[in-house]
């Protein structure tokens, strides 16, 4: 019987990458392979639980961020300020790119992520402004 196992290795840049290792097992080796697979399945389950926890934290953090930007939108509407602030956006993107770089995260990815959030916030601010008039 042919089995496949995922093995986590580290390359010279210390990045984790999966490598498929195929091997044939029979008899007693089959039992050891099953135990090995169960251990790997448990490790994968632990990784996925961590990812789920991080995803939950991200969702709650985004919800909190949008509560604050909602208040900003209401403030801007009451004070006749424009929904977008290009200088602030440029500053935020530069700040987030630096944070991403410091965290060994792709700055391009972080900029796209923030751009998506900023665009959504601006849409909310425009809607608040329209509702206020």
Q: How large is the average pLDDT for residues 57-67? A: 96
**Nearest CA to 59 among 117, 128, 108, 1?**
117
Q: How many domains does the chain have?
A: 1
Q: Are 124 and 66 in contact (CB under 8 A)?
A: yes
* Local structure of residue 104 (DSSP, 8 states): T
Our CA angle for 64, 70, 72, nearest 5°, is: 110
Q: How large is the average pLDDT for residues 79-88? A: 95
Please report the sign of the dihedral spanned by the C-alpha atoms of residue 64, residue 68, residue 73, residue 77. Answer: positive
pLDDT at residue 28, rounded to an integer: 65
**Nearest CA to 131 among 123, 40, 48?**
123
Q: What is the CATH number of the domain that holds 117?
A: 1.20.59.10
Which of 133 and 55 is assigned the larger pLDDT?
55
Lookup: tokens for 118: 């900023």
**Domain limits for position 72:** 2-132
Lookup: tokens for 17: 């990458």
Name residue, tokens 């972080």: 110
**Could you read off the pLDDT of 12-47 as tens digits, one per residue?**
444 444 444 444 545 667 777 777 777 778 888 999
Q: How large is the average pLDDT for residues 89-105? A: 96
Q: How large is the average pLDDT for residues 52-74? A: 96
User: How confident is residue 72, by pLDDT bands cut at 50, 70 and 90?
Assistant: very high
Which of 5 and 97 is assigned the larger pLDDT?
97
Full-model pTM: 0.65
Q: How large is the average pLDDT for residues 110-115? A: 95
């Amino acid at each position: 019987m042919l089995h496949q196992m995922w093995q986590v290795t580290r390359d010279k840049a210390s990045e984790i990458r999966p490598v498929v290792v195929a091997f044939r097992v029979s008899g007693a080796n089959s039992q050891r392979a099953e135990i090995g697979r169960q251990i790997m399945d448990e490790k994968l389950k632990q990784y996925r639980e961590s990812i789920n926890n991080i995803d939950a934290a991200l969702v709650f953090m985004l919800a909190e961020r949008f509560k604050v930007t909602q208040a900003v939108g209401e403030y801007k509407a009451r004070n006749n300020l424009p929904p977008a602030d290009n200088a602030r956006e440029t500053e935020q993107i530069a700040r987030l790119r630096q944070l991403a770089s410091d965290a060994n995260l792709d700055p391009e990815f972080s900029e796209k992520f923030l751009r998506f959030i900023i665009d959504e916030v601006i849409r909310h601010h425009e809607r608040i402004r329209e509702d206020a008039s």
